[in-house]
Amino acid sequence: MSALKIGVVEDELVIARTIIGTLHELGYTHCGPAINYTEAIDLLEHQKPDLLLLDIQLAGKKDGFDVAQQLNERYPMPFIFLTANSDAETIDQAKKVKPHAYIVKPFTKEELFAAIEIAFSNFANSFPAGKTAAPTALHDKDHLFVKDGHTYKKIYLHEILYLESDANYVSVHLQLQKKVMIRTTINALIEQINSKNFLRVHRSYSVNIEKIVHVHPSEIVLQGATVPIGKLYREELFKALGIRE
């Protein structure tokens, strides 16, 4: 699975370099730093991070609250406020734009890691199955629209071999050994696809049963791929395929 791409918006460059170094140690990729509102919007528009670390105090007239407002309106993604202030007034103002976490400087590597992982996980799982405020995938008839940055790619359902879950991502494996990774859960994506041809065969896998070539006791062979069969899903799979043991 690709590492999360973390955007950094921080006007103190010494602090920004420290944050970037910490992100590298934790295994994340990064973009930025942006030091003001304009650079922050440019970063969101062109770098397309998965999560934003956002300093409240920025260079220029507009601050982190203004960036957060744009995130809520135009660039839906989890964001974490970074600030040296923990007074009631600042916190009350922060609550209005609903950050996914709030870290008071100075913070440790462990605190940053926990905040990023919890914020991203909660964001990815915050929408009911089949509904997304920031759509990861939209289903319509025989195809699926998958989000890629700020645009959506069309994938026809008949091109999909199987879905593979990995934490808060799902890899959509296509014919011709192509793969698209999207940020969602496998349960939500199955609900959005809403097709009788897709069947859960394992905790981490759902397959397009029309693409099955062979069925073995513990695995399925599709077109150029092998998927395991979970014990809890075996009976339902065999029933759906009309197989009698």
Residue whose tokens read 């440019």:
42
Q: Are residues 147 and 108 part of one domain? A: no
Residue 132 included in any domain: no
Q: Are residues 147 and 120 part of one domain? A: no
Q: Are residues 191 and 142 part of one domain? A: yes
Q: Look at residue 244 in the predicted model and tell me its pLDDT.
A: 83
Q: pLDDT, tens digit, for every residue of 47-101?
A: 989 899 999 999 999 999 999 999 998 888 899 999 998 889 999 999 999 999 9
Domain of 176, CATH number, reads 2.40.50.1020
The number of domains in the chain is 2
Q: Look at residue 141 in the predicted model and tell me its pLDDT.
A: 58
Q: Look at residue 39 in the predicted model and tell me its pLDDT.
A: 97
Query: Distance (Å, rounded) from C-alpha 10 to C-alpha 214?
Result: 54
For residues 176-204, give the mean pLDDT.
85
SS3 32: strand
Q: Look at residue 191 in the predicted model and tell me its pLDDT.
A: 79
Q: Are residues 151 and 71 part of one domain? A: no
> Which of 124, 159, 193 marks a domain boundary?
124
Q: Are residues 61 and 149 part of one domain? A: no
Q: pLDDT, tens digit, for every residue of 2-57?
A: 578 999 999 999 999 999 999 999 989 999 999 999 999 999 999 989 899 999 99
Q: Are residues 9 and 119 part of one domain? A: yes
For residues 183-194, give the mean pLDDT.
80
CA proximity to 185, closest of 163, 158, 207: 163
- What tokens were used for 28? 């994340």
| Residue span of the structural domain in which 155 resides | 137-241
DSSP conformation class of 223: S
Q: Look at residue 152 in the predicted model and tell me its pLDDT.
A: 65
Q: Which ranges of 74-185 would DSSP assign to H, the alpha helix?
A: 88-97, 109-124
Q: Are residues 227 and 195 part of one domain? A: yes
Q: Are residues 225 and 185 part of one domain? A: yes
User: For residues 179 and 170, is the Cβ–Cβ distance under 8 A?
Assistant: no
Residue whose tokens read 């920025």:
58
Specify the higher pLDDT residue, 197 or 34: 34
Q: Which pTM was predicted?
A: 0.57
User: For residues 109 and 22, is the Cβ–Cβ distance under 8 A?
Assistant: yes
Residue 130 included in any domain: no
Q: Are residues 162 and 88 part of one domain? A: no
Q: Look at residue 150 in the predicted model and tell me its pLDDT.
A: 54
Domain of 80, CATH number, reads 3.40.50.2300
Q: pLDDT, tens digit, for every residue of 101-148?
A: 999 999 999 999 999 988 887 776 654 443 443 444 444 457 877 765
